[in-house]
Structure 1
């Protein structure tokens, strides 16, 4: 085990709420222990697998669509829970985390621990800036991700 912790903010800041993953990564730059890898990804499965290669713990931050939608509602999922939800499209990307998890399992490239922090979106149209519900949820989302990182490093406080 490497003890390597990777946080991946999935999304596109030019698609409004889809930019929440990159926004969380930026906010974490001074809030996580040294040695934590902070990365942004478009969610393409092979790039995701490359980012988390060799990591013991991966924390993914993602925008999701749900029906019925409750924009701003937060979700925290284990890898098993994320895989169970992968059968229905939820990601705001063409290929979602479900495909990435399936590929990782086939290739035996899943990290020892993977946590997904997601927020339900309101607007993923072209443009910049988060919608009011997602912007309001952002501080709590950042806190949850930071807590997952501290836990992975053995620093639960």
Structure 2
């Protein structure tokens, strides 16, 4: 299993992925399960290649926006429309390239949080911090369940 936090911590809400990874690290999730990425397509594929479960956390821009709203997608049910991450990455393109190359993990969960502020600066907006807390809880449970399944 791997948890990949995508984003730029110096672009406010775009840093939600790295923020969640850091909260998971503080909870004792092992470093070998955690990664941070700027979202470059081939880097993502390299990180999740060969994994049983890959969880990707990223910010997304939506119109109209609902700051802090969480979207959860699985590869088994890809969206009908593409969703652009806050930093311009099209996660659908990364997934499709990995599928063509035969480098998708067995299971891929994408969590996106609607961003409100991606200007230069540090720190998440209150709605995104609250969403990141909920995501951290949910992903911590996934990590624990995955570790239990591996040892059971």
TM-score normalised by structure 2 residue count: 0.89
SS in 2 for 1:69: coil
Alignment check: 8 A CA contact 2:73 2:110 kept: yes
Cα offsets for 1:55-90 (capped at 9, x unmatched): 111011111112221001112221133x325x3333
Contact 2:50 2:104 (8 Å CA) reproduced: no
The CA distance in 2 between the partners of 1:135 and 1:84, in whole Å, is: 25
Between 1:128-137 and 1:28-37, the stretch displaced more is 28-37
What aligned pairs does 1:16-95 form with structure 2 within 5 A after superposition?
16-31=12-27, 34=30, 36-81=32-77, 83-85=78-80, 87-95=81-89
Structure 1 residue ranges (4+ consecutive) displaced by more than 3 angstroms after TM superposition: 32-36
Quote the RMSD (CA, aligned, Å): 1.8
Question: CA contact under 8 A between 1:13 and 1:128: conserved in structure 2?
Answer: yes
Measure how far apart 1:52 and its partner are: 1.2
1:71 and 1:122 in contact (8 A); partners too: yes
Residue 153 of structure 1 corresponds to which residue in structure 2?
Answer: 147
In structure 2, runs of 5+ residues without a counterpart are none
Partner of 2:110: 116
1:57 and 1:113 in contact (8 A); partners too = yes
Q: Distance in 1 between matches of 2:142 and 2:108?
A: 10
Bigger mean CA deviation after superposition, 128-137 or 89-98: 89-98
TM-score normalized by the length of structure 1 = 0.86
